[in-house]
Structure 1
Amino acid sequence: MRSPHVGQGSNSANVRRFNERLVLQALRRAGEASKADLARLANLTSTAVGSIITSLIENGLIEVTGRRLDGQRGQPASLLRLDPRGAFAIGVRLDRTSIETVLVNFAGQMIARRSHDLLLPQPPVAQEIVQRDIRDLLSRLDARERSRIAGIGVAQPYNLGSWLRELGLPADTFRVWNDVDFAGELGRALALPVFSENDGNAAAIAELFYGCGRQRDDFIYLFLGPAIGGGIAIDGDCVRGLTGNAGDFAVMPVPPSRLPSAAQPPGKWDILLSRASLISLRRHLRHYGETVDSRADLEACIARGHPAVEEWLDDCVDALAPALRASLCVLDLRAVVLDADVDAGLVDTLMKRLRVAVAATAPEASITPELVRGTFGPDAGALGAATLPMFFNFSPRAGILMGAGAQTQEVSHAAN
Structure 2
Amino acid sequence: MVDAGHSARGSNSAQLRRYNERIVLQMLRKAGVASKADLARSAKLTNAAIGGIIQAMIDDGLIIETGKRHDGGRGQPATLLKLAPRGAFSFGVRIDRTSLETVLIDFEGKVIGRRAHDMILPPPDQALDIIEKDLDGLKTLLDPEEQNRIAGIGIAQPFNLGAWLHDLGLPPANFMKWDDYDPEPDLAARCGLPTFRENDGTAAAVAELFYGHGRHNDDFLYLFLGPAIGGGLVLNGDVVRGVTGNAGDVAMMPVQHGKLSTAPEKKKPWDILLSRVSLVSLARHLDPENFSSLSRLDLQAAYDDDRPEVDEWIDDCIDALTPTMRAAHALIDLPVLVIDSDLDGGFLRDLSQKLKTALEEAAPEARDTPDILTGSFSQDAGAIGAATLPLFFNFSPRATILTGGKVHGSAGAAVHEEGAA
Superposed displacement of residue 201, structure 1? 0.4
Please tell me whether the aligned partners of residues 292 and 298 of structure 1 are also in contact (alpha carbons under 8 angstroms): no
Instruction: Work out whether 1:298 is the aligned partner of 2:302.
Output: no
Instruction: Work out whether 1:202 is the aligned partner of 2:172.
Output: no
Change in CA separation of 1:404 and 1:198 when aligned onto 2, cut-off 3 Å: closer
Residue matched to 1:412: none
Change in CA separation of 1:405 and 1:269 when aligned onto 2, cut-off 3 Å: closer
Percent identity, aligned pairs only, is 56
Superposed displacement of residue 124, structure 1? 2.0
TM-score by length of 2: 0.92
- Deviation digits for residues 47-105 of structure 1 (CA, Å, limit 9, x no counterpart): 22111101111111001112212212101111111111110000001111211110000
Corresponding letter in the other structure for 1:244: G
Gaps of 5+ in 1: 1-6, 407-416
Superposed displacement of residue 36, structure 1? 0.6
Residue matched to 1:397: 398
Change in CA separation of 1:53 and 1:29 when aligned onto 2, cut-off 3 Å: same
CA distance in 1, matches of 2:269, 2:322: 19
CA distance in 2, matches of 1:30, 1:201: 24
1:98-177 counterparts in 2 under 5 A? Answer: 98-177=99-178
Corresponding letter in the other structure for 2:257: P
Corresponding letter in the other structure for 1:61: L
Residue matched to 1:319: 320
- Deviation digits for residues 153-190 of structure 1 (CA, Å, limit 9, x no counterpart): 00000111112222222224311111222122111111
Residue matched to 1:71: 72
Instruction: Work out whether 1:28 is the aligned partner of 2:37.
Output: no
TM-score by length of 1: 0.93
Corresponding letter in the other structure for 1:112: G
Superposed displacement of residue 289, structure 1? 7.0
CA distance in 2, matches of 1:338, 1:45: 40
Residue matched to 1:181: 182
Of stretches 381-390 and 95-104 in structure 1, the one that deviates more from structure 2 is 95-104
Please tell me whether the aligned partners of residues 233 and 239 of structure 2 are also in contact (alpha carbons under 8 angstroms): yes
Residue matched to 1:223: 224
3-state SS of 2:337 partner:
strand
Corresponding letter in the other structure for 2:264: A
Instruction: Work out whether 1:38 is the aligned partner of 2:58.
Output: no
3-state SS of 1:171 partner:
coil
CA distance in 2, matches of 1:330, 1:172: 38
Corresponding letter in the other structure for 1:316: C
Change in CA separation of 1:168 and 1:291 when aligned onto 2, cut-off 3 Å: closer
Q: Say which structure is richer in helix.
A: 1
Please tell me whether the aligned partners of residues 169 and 291 of structure 2 are also in contact (alpha carbons under 8 angstroms): no
After TM superposition, where is structure 1 displaced by more than 6 Å over at least 4 residues in a row?
288-291
3-state SS of 1:173 partner:
coil
- Deviation digits for residues 87-126 of structure 1 (CA, Å, limit 9, x no counterpart): 0000001111211110000111111111112222222221
Change in CA separation of 1:125 and 1:378 when aligned onto 2, cut-off 3 Å: same
Answer 1 or 2: higher relative contact order, Cα 8 Å, separation at least 6.
Answer: 2
CA distance in 2, matches of 1:308, 1:226: 17
Superposed displacement of residue 288, structure 1? 8.1
Corresponding letter in the other structure for 1:277: S
Residue matched to 1:3: none
Change in CA separation of 1:260 and 1:188 when aligned onto 2, cut-off 3 Å: same
RMSD, matched Cα = 1.7
CA distance in 2, matches of 1:108, 1:241: 26
Superposed displacement of residue 44, structure 1? 2.5
Corresponding letter in the other structure for 2:307: H
Gaps of 5+ in 2: 1-7, 408-421
